[in-house]
Structure formats: C-alpha cells, structure tokens
Amino acid sequence: MSQQQQQGQQQSQQQSQQQGGFDRYTVEHETRYAYTAPVSQSWQLGRLTPRGLPWQRLLSHSLQIDPPPDERHEAVDSFGNSVSHFGLHGAHRQLRVRMQCQVEVGERPVADIHSTHTVDEVREALRRPYAGTDDLNAARMTEPTPLVPLSEAARLYAEPSLQPDRPWFEALSELNHRIHTDFEFDSGATTVSTSVDEVMQHRRGVCQDFAHLMLACLRGHGLSARYMSGYLLTDPPPGMPRLMGVDASHAWVAAYLPDHGWIEFDPTNDQLADRRYITLAWGADFADVVPLRGVILGGGMMQRMDVSVSVIPQG
C-alpha cells in the first residue's frame, strides 16, 4: 500500500469520527439445506466472516453448524477473504449454517469526484502497474473470468459513457446510473448461472446480474473492477416494524482509480456505497465470494435451500 493510500485511510477514520463515529449492526445469515435422502459425506466452504477494513470493524462473530462438523479449519483465500472449511462424515438429512456477527461501519474514503484522470489515462496506468500491491491487484481485475467473459454487447453498451477523454469518475457514475435506469430489478428473471449477454438481452435481473454487467462493461474497456459481496441495510415502509429474515445478501462493484484506490458503485441502487454497506468478501466475480458452497455424497435427486438474512441497526 502506498503512502498516499495510507494517508487516505487515516483521513477516512478521522472523517468517521467527525461524522458521528461508526454505525453498529447485528447481522444474522442463516442457510438451511433439506435433502430427500441421507447425505453420507459433506464438504463445505463458507465465506461468512465480514472483512476488517479501515472503515469496518468486526466486533464479534460466530458460525454455528448443525449437525456439528467432524472437521473444521479456517483459512484466507487469495483475495484476503476469510474462509471456513468444514466436513460432515455422518449421515444427515438437513444442514443448517448460521452466522451471527456484530460489525461497525464508518465512512469510506471520500470519492475523488474532482479527479482529472480520464478514462484513457486510467486504462494506460493499469497497463503498466508500478506503484505497489494495490496497482498489481487492480491490473488483475481487468481480465475476463468464467462468469464475466468478454462481452461485445456489454462493451458497446458502455461505450457512450466510457469515452477515452472523459473524466473517469464522471464516466463511471453515468454508467452506474444507466444500468440502474435501463434494467429492471426482477428476482425471478435470472439464476446464478445467467450470463451477462442474457441480462443484456432481457434487460432484467438482480444485484448479482447488475454487478456482473458493470464488471463486463468496465473490463471490456480495459478498466479494473472487482465484485463486492455483503449486506445492505434496508428500511421498512414508514410506520412498519423491521422484520427479521427478510433482507438478502447484496452485490455491488468496486472500481480502481490510481492514486486514490477503490471506489464502490452500486448499479442496483444508483449510488456509491456508504455506511449502510457491510462488506463480506470480494473477488473477480460471484464464484469467488459464494457465501456457502460444497460437495455432497448422497442426498437424493432433490434438495431444498432456504436463506434468511437480517441486518439490525444497534442504537
């Protein structure tokens, strides 16, 4: 990390203190599997530990697994995400994984909205990274992935916004706004395997789809962006109590601006990430941040998965 980025993180912490410190949340994320026949062996991998960041502090964390695993160990993946590996070696027809944590979130580094860096200047800087680890990681995030391959449709869609001589922040803000305006949120329109080109064709999807689309747009123009996974505090209708278990995991995008760092755009909601966004993990696409995935032996022809998430503000 460069000295300038360290100074930026320190400024961010100072701003959080000046603007009321940190907001505290309790997060509960429960996943339940039910199988039509006994599972004899199960190996699972969970990314269910929020990251520690200059603007995010993890105060407590627990991961409850039922049936209790026969083996379990913790690790860190290549993106710096915390990963829980566990295995069950006795017959079971259900699996329940419940994460509960308390986290505090403050202000992120102020986005450099007045940056004079153009789209073309940022693209050229990413082709010759030299400043440090963040620049090298950013260059890695310009490459296509299995879930976000190069898409000519996405590249052409982004072209009016990402003109070479346009200020980078202005260009990305417009692209963020266009995705929000041109695509309809529809929870039943897509699955986890829906491609970017299918989303382009049908113009509807969910936050995962819109994050993948924005990644394809940016990478198609040689710009760096990573997939962000976490939680977003949602507000109940006026006069209604906050319900438990009705929130969901959220996805957004972080794009890299040299000499500043990562700026987080949410195309689903047409805004920058703020202290309502709790960061769980990040990677090149959704496959790198799946909260829970695994392999089982047995289980029959069908299985049912239910997920519930609650983000509860504290005070």
Rounded average pLDDT over 295-315: 91
Domains of the chain by start residue, with CATH: 3-106+291-313 (2.60.40.2250), 119-288 (3.10.620.30)
Rounded average pLDDT over 235-251: 76
- What is residue 106's predicted lDDT score, i.e. its pLDDT? 97
- What is residue 252's predicted lDDT score, i.e. its pLDDT? 97
Q: Name the pTM for this structure.
A: 0.89
* Tens-digit pLDDT profile for residues 175-197: 999 999 999 999 888 888 899 99
User: What is the phi-psi region of residue 205: left when phi exceeds 0, alpha when psi lies from -120 to 50, beta otherwise?
Assistant: left
* Cβ-contact 174, 257 below 8 angstroms: no
- What is residue 5's predicted lDDT score, i.e. its pLDDT? 35
Residue of higher predicted confidence among 237 and 29: 29
Q: Is the pLDDT of residue 75 over 80?
A: yes
| Measured CA distances, 56 to 23, 98, 110 (Å) | 9, 21, 15
